[in-house]
Amino acid sequence: MVAANIAAADEKGISEAARILRAGGLVAFPTETVYGLGADARNGNAVARIFEAKQRPQFNPLIVHLPDVAAARLHGVFDDGAEKLAAAFWPGPLTLVLTRTASTPISNLASAGGETIALRVPGHSVAQALLVAAACPVAAPSANRSGRVSPTNAAHVAASLGGRVDLILDGGACPGGLESTIIDLAGECPALLRPGLITRDAVEEQIGPVVLPDERAGVRAPGMLPSHYAPEARLRLDADAPGEGEAWLGFGGGLAMTGVPSRNLSPSGDLVEAAANLFAMLHDLDSSGMSGIAVAPIPEEGLGIPINDRLRRAAAPRD
Ligand code: TXA
Ligand code: MG
């Protein structure tokens, strides 16, 4: 395994980390909860590299970190409840799931193709300094490999991700050690998607009743599919060519389609590029008016695993 590149979270380390983020790289950084594995949320390829590094078999939507509520308002639609919670708990260990604004430049992949976005303003001084220096929204799940425990110091990150991350900013141990509380405000009523340091009672004091996911029809636990995009068009996987009434979603070289709506996830066969394009291209082809989308085979390796997982779910019969 390649040794991890660790820097002290001083002025020099933070400006180097900001430079890496802006160049599309991955930086692990401390927050008041756990270490995050960050990438420029606007850069689809950089966001795809997060999933590659975590070796997750599925695309989970990610939390996007901002330095303050003014920056967060560019990306999520804030209603009264969101404003109240932001005023009460930000910066701090609270994540708000909101409807994406029409103009947000955040990659579709960070929302796993859905119409909502999870936003958080962390209070940790290193996270704050990094977000200000990078001056971009930073998508960051916990900085552990899929299925491992969340890291609360730089050594945990190095052990779990090692050389898969361009830089680890060592800001010592995280004071919280428990991930942020997640409140979904994008549905019919507020829901607590993940309990955390900020309690349900504290949230209810601000905005009134908050339900648990299983108390609200249609809300599922985080990571299950709540905000995942399901195309209207029927998907046909491992196709050689589009059939009658089908648009074409290609991968790699070969077949160039004319006469039907088509996109290519990555003409060069790059799975990082394919992951970055997946949801936007499904949206495009779905709105082309064709009744189906034929999809070229995608290799079942690396990021091909979550891409195929997503495609199979989208292709599965619906009730
Ligand atoms: O404390 C934290 O929140 C840490 C630090 C790094 O900020 N981050 C973190 O991220 O725990 P992660 O990816 O390990 O957990 C994010 C959770 C996932 O369960 C995901 O499904 C949920 O948030 N989530 C993200 N976006 C969502 C969305 N749009 N709708 C519903 N759930 C969402
Ligand atoms: Mg996690």
Ligand 1, atom 24, residue with closest C-alpha: 61
pLDDT at 51: 96
Ligand 1, atom 7, residue with closest C-alpha: 36
Query: Which comes out higher in pLDDT, residue 184 or 217?
Result: 184
Residue 64 has pLDDT above 80, yes or no: yes
> What's the token pair of residue 47?
């966001």
pLDDT at 147: 83
The secondary structure of the chain in percent helix, strand, coil, rounded to multiples of 5, reads 30, 20, 50
Q: For residue 112, which atom of ligand 1 is closest to its CA?
A: 29
What's the DSSP call for residue 230? -
Distance of alpha carbon 193 from alpha carbon 171, whole angstroms? 28
Nearest bound ligand to CA 112?
A: 1
Distance of alpha carbon 232 from alpha carbon 128, whole angstroms? 41
Residue 212 has pLDDT above 60, yes or no: yes
Distance of alpha carbon 252 from alpha carbon 267, whole angstroms? 4
Distance of alpha carbon 298 from alpha carbon 250, whole angstroms? 9
Q: Helices 125-134 and 11-22 sit at what angle, rounded to 10 degrees?
A: 50
pLDDT at 217: 55
Q: What mean pLDDT comes out for the span 78-98?
A: 98
Residues in Cβ contact with 291 at an 8 Å cutoff, skipping those fewer than 6 apart:
233, 234, 245, 246
Q: What is the dihedral of CA 129, 65, 21, 283, to 10 degrees?
A: -160
Q: For residue 65, which atom of ligand 1 is closest to its CA?
A: 7
Query: Which comes out higher in pLDDT, residue 223 or 260?
Result: 260
Q: What is the pLDDT of residues 150-182, one digit of tens each?
A: 899 999 999 999 899 999 999 999 988 889 999
- Amino acid (one-letter) located at 258: T
Query: Which comes out higher in pLDDT, residue 235 or 230?
Result: 235
> What's the token pair of residue 114?
């859905």
Interval between CA 30 and ligand 2 midpoint (Å): 14
Helix (H, G, I), strand (E, B) or coil at 36: strand
User: Among 34-48, 69-83, 219-233, 291-305, which stretch is predicted with the lowest mean pLDDT?
Assistant: 219-233
> What's the token pair of residue 213?
């996911």
Interval between CA 108 and ligand 2 midpoint (Å): 19
CB atoms under 10 Å from CB of 315, counted, come to 18
Please, are residues 219 and 213 in contact by the beta-carbon 8 Å criterion? Answer: yes
Ligand 1 site-directed mutation target among 37, 56, 77, 95, most atoms within 8 Å of CB: 95
Residue 21 has pLDDT above 60, yes or no: yes
Interval between CA 141 and ligand 1 midpoint (Å): 6
Ligand 1 first shell, C-beta below 6 A: 31, 33-34, 36, 60-63, 93, 95, 97, 111, 114, 116-118, 120, 140-142, 179-180, 182, 193, 222-223, 226-227
Q: For residue 37, which atom of ligand 1 is closest to its CA?
A: 6
User: Among 99-108, 112-121, 207-216, 267-276, which stretch is predicted with the lowest mean pLDDT?
Assistant: 207-216
Query: Which comes out higher in pLDDT, residue 296 or 232?
Result: 296
Interval between CA 310 and ligand 1 midpoint (Å): 18
Query: Which comes out higher in pLDDT, residue 57 or 210?
Result: 210
pLDDT at 221: 46
Interval between CA 268 and ligand 1 midpoint (Å): 31
Ligand 1, atom 6, residue with closest C-alpha: 36
Interval between CA 141 and ligand 2 midpoint (Å): 6
Distance of alpha carbon 222 from alpha carbon 41, whole angstroms? 19
Q: What mean pLDDT comes out for the span 189-203?
A: 93
Mean pLDDT of the chain: 92
Reported as a pLDDT band with limits 50, 70 and 90, residue 290 is very high
Length of the chain: 319
Residue 256 has pLDDT above 70, yes or no: no
Reported as a pLDDT band with limits 50, 70 and 90, residue 3 is confident
Best CA proximity match to 114, nearest among 99, 129, 134, 132: 99
Reported as a pLDDT band with limits 50, 70 and 90, residue 2 is low
Sequence-ordered alpha helix ranges (H) in the chain: 11-22, 44-54, 69-72, 80-89, 125-134, 154-161, 200-207, 271-286, 304-315
Query: Which comes out higher in pLDDT, residue 258 or 29?
Result: 29
**Given CA atoms 96, 307, 105, 46 in this order, what sign does their dihedral have?**
positive
Please, are residues 1 and 130 in contact by the beta-carbon 8 Å criterion? Answer: no
Q: What is the pLDDT of residues 99-116, one digit of tens each?
A: 999 999 999 999 999 999
Distance of alpha carbon 188 from alpha carbon 185, whole angstroms? 8
Ligand 1, atom 31, residue with closest C-alpha: 222
Around ion ligand 2, residues with a beta carbon closer than 5 Å are 142
Residue 48 has pLDDT above 90, yes or no: yes
> What's the token pair of residue 58?
């599925």
Residues in Cβ contact with 248 at an 8 Å cutoff, skipping those fewer than 6 apart:
239, 241, 242, 255, 257, 260, 261, 262, 263, 285, 293, 294, 296
Q: What is the pLDDT of residues 216-233, one digit of tens each?
A: 555 444 444 433 457 889
pLDDT at 1: 54
- Amino acid (one-letter) located at 265: L
